[in-house]
Amino acid sequence: MLPGMGLKGQEKFRNAKVLVIGAGGLGCPVLQYLCAAGIGTIGIIDFDIIELHNLHRQILYTAADIGKLKTQVAAEKLKEQNPHLIFNEHAVMLTIKNATELIQQYDLIIDGSDNFKTRYLVNDTCVELKKPLVYGSIFKYEGQAAVFNYKGSKHLRNIYAEAPHPEDVPNCSETGVIGAIPGVIGTLMCTMAFEIIQEQFTNLNTLHIFNFKEYSMQKLLF
């Protein structure tokens, strides 16, 4: 019923192959909405297990899942939500040795990882393979989202040429984050992904920065 969507648009969703890197705070809402929309093939990369401190923001999981692999639990619950899709579980750490092999299997990459080493590896691999990338990050009361490397657009190194030192930018497990913030950024990332699949995304070379303490939003053009 939605203008610009129709049966052809739904077929694009069905034929799409999307890889989600990180099944944590950002990855959980992304995965749920990709699944609900009927994205035909969904890949999940995460080597981690579910821990108690994850549960306030990683909303696919419950206390009964503690100690289990995130990829396994996520795939099981997503299959219950929509059994007609293909779910590929990649319970591995993404490294320079396997990044190309994994990423090249998909049309669109969504990065919800929680460290800059992985983010830059994903970015550089997507540039090399000419894959569009939806990027998101969270830090305390702030969230960011952008689309990189889409139809010749710029990428992460055009904003920050080099990754910061890990000690300068700790992840949310070390600094804390309000549980709903990854949900807001994750759903925004998913909306960007939908527009890319539908070939309708136009907001290129723009980093969206949200401050949930002040309820403000900035657009950084790069």
Calpha distance 35→23 (Å, rounded) = 13
Beta bridge partners of 137: 144
Residue 138, helix vs strand vs coil: strand
- In this predicted structure, what is the pLDDT of residue 174? 67
Under a CB-based contact definition with an 8 Å cutoff, are residues 158 and 222 in contact? yes
Indicate if the pLDDT at residue 32 is higher than 80: yes
> What is the spatial distance between Cα 133 and Cα 153, in angstroms, rounded to a whole number?
10
pLDDT at 138: 94
Confidence of residue 164 (pLDDT cuts 50, 70, 90): confident
Q: What is the chain's mean pLDDT, rounded?
A: 95
Segment holding 115, helix H or strand E: none
pLDDT score of 87 more than 70: yes
Q: Give 127's DSSP letter.
A: H
The answer on pLDDT for 1 being more than 90 is: no
CATH 3.40.50.720 fits domain 6-221: yes
> Where residue 2 falls among pLDDT bands split at 50, 70, 90?
confident
Q: Helix %, strand %, coil % for the chain, to 5? A: 35, 20, 40
- Every domain of the chain and the residues it spans: 6-221
Please give the pLDDT value at position 3.
85
Quote the DSSP letter at residue 140.
Answer: B
Instruction: Return the amino acid letter for 19.
Output: L
More confident residue, 170 or 39: 39
What are the Cα distances from residue 83, in Å, to 13, 40, 61? 15, 11, 18
192 pLDDT band, cuts 50/70/90, is very high
- Say what angle helices 27-37 and 180-197 make with each other, to 10 degrees: 40
pLDDT of 4 strictly over 90: no
Which of 150, 139, 127, 138 minimizes the C-alpha distance to 187? 138
- The whole-number pLDDT of residue 170 equals 64
Is the pLDDT at 172 greater than 80? The verdict is no
Bridge partners (DSSP) of residue 138 are 143
